Structure formats: structure tokens, C-alpha cells
Amino acid sequence: MEATKACISIRHVSKQFGKQQVLKKISLEIMEGEIFGLLGPSGAGKTTLVKQLAGLDTPTSGENFLLQEKMPSLKLIEKVGYMAQSDALYGELSAKENLQFFSALYGLKGKKQQQRIEEVMKLVQLSDHLHKLVSNYSGGMKRRLSLAIALLHEPEILILDEPTVGIDPMLRKSIWEAFYELKNKGTTLIVTTHVMDEAEKCDRLGMIRNGSLIAVGTPEELKQKTNSATIEEAFLVYGGA
Amino acid sequence: MRITALIIRILRQIVRDKRTMGLLIFAPILVLTMLHLVFNGNDYTPKIGFVHIPESIVDQIDISDEKITEYKNEKEAKEDLSSQEIDGYVVFHNQSPSIFLEGSDPTVNGAAIKWIQTVLKPLQGNEPSLEPKVDFLHGSAGMGQFDYFGPVLLGFFVFFFVFLIAGVSFLRERTTGTLERLLSTPLRKWEIVTGYVLGFGIFTMIQATIIAAYAIYVLDMLMEGAFLYVLLIILLLSFTALTLGILLSSFANNELQMIQFIPIVVVPQIFFSGLFNLETISEWLRWIGPFTPLYYAADALRDIMVRGYGWDEIYRDVFVLLGFSILFMIVNILALRKYREI
Ligand SMILES: Nc1ncnc2c1ncn2[C@@H]1O[C@H](COP(=O)(O)OP(=O)(O)O)[C@@H](O)[C@H]1O
Ligand SMILES: [Mg+2]
């Protein structure tokens, strides 16, 4: 682990909304080419943290660095693919029109655009529904289309906020296979989740509770250190239960 | 490139929503048609000038009245008439009076003629030969209320609908999270605002052409000037509506709250747009007029359609409208900082 470069560096980041302290002095390094899981219950502050990494918000104090450069930066934004927790899609347009729009924003056009649209839709197994209006999509299909859009411009860093919510187990498995494939190509992935068994699939995990980072390590390490059989148990131990 | 993508997306969304598109075009047509069929009535004290007043009348009227001006020659009176200082003037040739009216507002015309006739009555005695001759600088005796109100209404409808759909569509962008999604792409903030202005601008152009053409060629609304100037003013007005709509949408949490802006922001503009004579509005409200875009658009549209004026008369309105749009655009770009600092 020491040899690989830190791709994302979160330094003493705190965030306050009014009186509520949502992130408390978080420091964390994420390495190039790993799948890093942010695990924590709903309301822990996962979305708040990854939004900062995507350039959509700034810390109250502390700094975020991506690829040795300080966020937010327009240059970095091109290298990041972001999938928000809620599906941000245009319902009155077809899936293809949504994909065309977002790929154009990243400067993809013509044959290359066409090719990328086919590739990402195949990856999320939506190729047969390319021409459907998004308003006629099911929840799981929208989730997958959002993922496809985040993958369009082949970003170096992928930030996925609860990517597999509402997706059935079979498809979830195939999506995780896609994540590993991206990782093998050198992409760094940050995946937030509140599902414990999904956390097992990550290379390393950061556990967040009430805005504090309570533990970081590989799933094996975390279980060993706490003498737990499952990640869930480990989380409870770290959480002071 | 990115702006083009945004424009295409916006136009696709508008075209997809057939019902809204129909509303935008047919609602104004419907209302204009009804107004065309209905219109009438008002109360107004005209401003009249006199050139060489015969002694016999001086006794009759109160020259110190602020609504009456005295001129030494007809040229001066005509100048004041052109600049709308007065609504009309009376000139006497061999004791027989001629009336010359500014003529663009039928209410004013009627009031002016009535007032002059009352004043001149003692002169006439019972001789019908002294019936004054009436001339118009603009318009004619046959010009109806609708011709005068028409240009204002045309502007109002465009403002109203563009404000609403642009505001609602930006509101949706915000509440569905797509705005945040857009800002996680390299799209610049000024590109978002520009894309919106151009996307809706193209649609407004089509909408305005259809509505204006219908009003002018089907309803026979008075049209003295160039059609292209009408479109230019309407386009600029729609830019202000659009940018103001987008701006105010950030203070609304849902569509209903967007609609609540209509009685506060949109409707009051009508009162200052010349649909009602500004001088019948009480003093302490009158100052609001110059702060509303419709005030300038209505003025320019009336100059073009009723008075047949060209660029020299409307350029000031054009620049003020442009100024409004640019101001709102800048504020919009600044407001987007809330979602992404850079
Ligand atoms: N814009 C905001 N204004 C005020 N409070 C917020 C805002 N965004 C998030 N919060 C609060 O921050 C806390 C963490 O939220 P979030 O990061 O969405 O949690 P998670 O994604 O882990 O479920 C919640 O209590 C939420 O109410
Ligand atoms: Mg969340």
C-alpha cells in the first residue's frame, strides 16, 4: 500500500450547516486504483463528504486534494465522474437523449459519443431500453442510467453515492464486476453505502458515524482488530456499542 | 459546444411537452381575440395647446390651468405634440378652429375632442359651418382601443409565459438535482445561464412571431412600423422575463410558489406599461414604472406599431432592456455560486 500514490487526500475537513457539525475533522488518504468504501448509517455525512470531492461543496475548514490539486477546480472536475444519491435525469427525454446531452458536456461527439453510449449502456444492461423515455424507467433502471452517465467520459476518479440502492442482487453482482473491471483499468472508485455486506466487496473501508471517521482499513483488518465475524459487528465495536 | 448541447436539450424538452407549448402559443391568441372583440372606456383630462387664442375664448377658459399651453406659432405646438408634451392643439385660421391630435391613444383622442368642443361651443353659436376640422399626427379617428392596447398586451403575454416556463423549468432543474448534476460536469456557470437564454430565446422567437403575426394580420391590429423591430423588442423583453424567472425560481421551492410570483412581479407591470395612462396613477406609485422591463418594451412596441417609428426612437428602450437582461444574467451567475464555487 505504501508504494502507491495517494489519489485523494482529505485533510482535517470539517463541515458545518448552521449549528449542526456534519463532518468532524476528517483526514483520509485514498490510493490510486482502489475501491474505497465509505460506510455509515443514513445521516452520517457520507453525501456531504463526497459532494466536496466532486467539487459541489467546500469544507468549512480543512482541504481536499485530488491528484495533488486542491478541490474545487474546473480542471479536476473533468477527471471526476459523479453519481449523485438521487437520480438527476431528464424524465421527458429518452435515455439516449440524456446520454447525448451529458456526453456533449464532456466534449464527446460524433462516432466516439455513439460508441461510448453503447458501451456504458451495455455495461449496465440497458441496451434494449436506449430509446425509452426516462419517465417510463423503473427506479432500478434510473439508478443504472445514472451510473452509465457517470462512466461516459471514462473518468480517472469515480465517485458513486449509494450506487446500488434499489437494484436487485443479480444485477448488483454484475455491477460490482464492472467496478472491478474499471479498477483493473486504473480507475479509482469511491463508493458510499449503508449496506454492510456490500462493504465487504471494497478494497478498503472508511467507517463514518455522526460525521466522524471512526475506523479505516481493509474489511479483513477491521474484522480482525475487533474480533468480529462480520463488518456489521466491527462497526458496532468501533461505534462504541 | 457545451452551450449548444444545453440549447438542444432545452428545445427538446419544450417540444416534448406539447401541452405547455400549445398553451404558450394559443393562450395569448385566445385572450387577444377576446379583447379584440370586447374593448371600451376610460376617464382622462387631456393636455391641450392653443395657437393664437381669440380674445373671445380667453375669457372662457382658464389659461393658467396646467393642462393648457399657449403657443406663438404652430411649429412650436407641433414639436411639443411629437414629443407627447401635449395631446393635441387647436389652431385658428380665419376664426375657424382646426384640431390637431397626437392620436396614438384613442381614449386620449376622445377626451381631447370632447374637451375642445366644450370650450369652443360659445364661439360656434348655432352655426354648424364652424364644426372644427380634426387631424391626427398618428393613428386616425378609426383607430380602436385594441390598436393602442394591443402592443402592450403582446409584450405582456410574452413576458408572462416566458417568465413562468423558464422559471419553472429552472426550478425543476434545481429540485430534481439535475442542476447539481450539471455543475459536477465541466459546464461553466455562465454557460448554463447563456444556454437557457438562447434555448428559450429561440422558442420565444417562434412564439412571438406567430402571436404577433396573428394579431397584426388576422385581428388587424394597427401596424405602422417594421415587423422586425417588433420581434427585436419582444425577444429582448423575453430575455428579461427569462433571466428574472430563473433568478426568482431560486426563491421558490415548488411550482406553486413560482406561480405566486405572478401577482407580485408580473401583473403589477401591466399598470405601468401604459395600458392605463400613467398620469392617472397616483404620484406615490408612479416611480415604480421605470424599474419594470415591460414599461420600456410597451413604449417601444407602441412607438413601432402605432406611431411607425424606427430605430432612432426605440434604441433607448432597446438598451435599457438589454441592460436589464445583462444585470439579471450576472446576478444569476453569482447566485449559482451557491451550488459550486467555481
Ligand atoms: N445543505 C444542508 N443543509 C443543512 N443540513 C444538511 C445539508 N446537507 C446535509 N445536511 C445534514 O447533514 C447530515 C448528513 O447528511 P448526509 O451527508 O446526506 O448523510 P448521508 O449521506 O451519510 O446519509 C444530515 O443530518 C443532514 O440533515
Ligand atoms: Mg447520502
CA B165 – CA B338 distance, rounded (Å): 23
Index of the ligand 1 atom closest to the CA of residue A18 = 4
Q: Which residues contact A98 (CB under 8 A, 6 or more apart)?
A: A89, A90, A134, A145, A149
Question: Are A136 and A163 part of one and the same domain?
Answer: no
Which residues in chain A have their CB less than 8 angstroms from residue B13's CB? Answer: 90, 92-93
Cell numbers placing A76:
479536476
Question: Are A162 and A238 part of one and the same domain?
Answer: yes
CA B41 – CA B209 distance, rounded (Å): 30
Question: Are A171 and A149 part of one and the same domain?
Answer: no
Lowest-pLDDT choice from A31-45, A51-65, B97-111, B251-265: B97-111
Taking residues B54-67, report their average pLDDT. Answer: 67
In a domain, A3, yes or no: no
Q: Which amino acid is at B25?
A: I
CA B142 – CA A129 distance, rounded (Å): 62
Question: Are A49 and A121 part of one and the same domain?
Answer: no
Could A93 and B5 be called an inter-chain contact, meaning their C-beta atoms sit closer than 8 Å?
A: no
Report the number of distinct structural domains present in chain A. 2
- pLDDT at position B92 is 78
Nearest to B104 by CA among B142, B58, B140, B155: B140
Question: Are A75 and A190 part of one and the same domain?
Answer: yes
Query: For the segment B38-53, what is each residue's pLDDT rounded down to a tens digit?
Result: 764 445 778 888 887 7
Percent of chain A with pLDDT over 90: 75
pLDDT band at A143 (very low <50, low <70, confident <90, very high): very high
Which residues in chain A have their CB less than 8 angstroms from residue B181's CB? Answer: 82, 84, 88
Q: Which residues contact B261 (CB under 8 A, 6 or more apart)?
A: B163, B167, B248, B252
Residue A147: domain span: 89-154
- pLDDT at position A233 is 87
Lowest-pLDDT choice from A61-70, B66-75, B82-91, B131-140: B131-140
Could B186 and A72 be called an inter-chain contact, meaning their C-beta atoms sit closer than 8 Å?
A: no
Could A84 and B187 be called an inter-chain contact, meaning their C-beta atoms sit closer than 8 Å?
A: no
Taking residues B241-265, report their average pLDDT. Answer: 92
In a domain, A223, yes or no: yes
Query: For the segment B208-218, what is each residue's pLDDT rounded down to a tens digit?
Result: 899 889 988 88
Index of the ligand 1 atom closest to the CA of residue A162 = 21
Q: Is the CB of A40 under 6 A from ligand 1?
A: yes
Query: Helix B189-213 vs helix B311-335: angle between axes, to the nearest 10 degrees?
Result: 140
- pLDDT at position B60 is 65
Q: How far is the CA of A121 from the centre of ligand 2 (A)?
A: 25
Question: Are A161 and A196 part of one and the same domain?
Answer: yes
DSSP states of A72-110:
S-HHHHTTEEEE-SS----TTSBHHHHHHHHHHHTT--H
Cell numbers placing B199:
434555448
Taking residues A133-147, report their average pLDDT. Answer: 93
Residue B305 phi, psi dihedral angles, 5° rounding: -80, -40
Nearest chain A Cα distance for residue B180, angstroms: 7
Could B178 and A89 be called an inter-chain contact, meaning their C-beta atoms sit closer than 8 Å?
A: yes
Q: Which of A103, A123, A154 is the last residue before a domain boundary?
A: A154
Any idea which ligand is nearest the CA of A22?
Answer: 1
Q: Is the pLDDT of residue B78 over 80?
A: yes
| Interchain CB contact of B174 with A (< 8 Å) | no
Q: Which of B5, B13, B184 sits opposite A90 (nearest CB)?
A: B13
Cα dist. B194→A6, B32, B178, B199 in Å? 38, 31, 17, 8
Alpha-helical segments (H) within chain A: 46-53, 74-77, 95-105, 110-123, 139-151, 169-184, 196-199, 219-225, 231-238
Sign of CA dihedral B75, B80, B83, B87: negative
Q: In what order do the strands lie in the sheet with B133-136?
A: B68-71, B48-51, B88-93, B96-101, B133-136
Q: How far is the CA of A165 from the centre of ligand 2 (A)?
A: 11
ipTM, two decimals, is 0.89
Pair A137, A150: CB distance under 8 Å = no
In a domain, A17, yes or no: no
Going by alpha carbons, the residue nearest to atom 17 of ligand 1 is A45
Q: Is the pLDDT of residue A1 over 50?
A: no
Domains in chain B: boundaries: 48-136, 145-339
- pLDDT at position B59 is 67
Q: Which of A154, A169, A196 is the last residue before a domain boundary?
A: A154
Q: Which of A54, A82, A97 sits opposite B12 (nearest CB)?
A: A97
CATH number for the domain harbouring residue A199: 3.40.50.300
Question: Are A126 and A226 part of one and the same domain?
Answer: no
Going by alpha carbons, the residue nearest to atom 1 of ligand 1 is A17
Q: Is the pLDDT of residue B62 over 70?
A: no
- pLDDT at position B241 is 94
Nearest to B339 by CA among B196, B182, B227: B182
Taking residues B108-128, report their average pLDDT. Answer: 70
Q: How far is the CA of A207 from the centre of ligand 2 (A)?
A: 14
Percent of chain B with pLDDT over 90: 32
Peptide bond into A219 cis (omega under 30): no
Percent of chain B with pLDDT over 70: 88
CA B292 – CA B166 distance, rounded (Å): 18
Q: Is the CB of A17 under 6 A from ligand 1?
A: yes
Instruction: For chain A, give the mean pLDDT.
Output: 91
In a domain, A28, yes or no: no
Query: For the segment B187-239, what is each residue's pLDDT rounded down to a tens digit?
Result: 999 999 999 999 999 998 898 899 889 988 888 888 888 899 999 999 999 99
- pLDDT at position A2 is 46
Global pTM reads 0.81
Pair B295, B281: CB distance under 8 Å = no
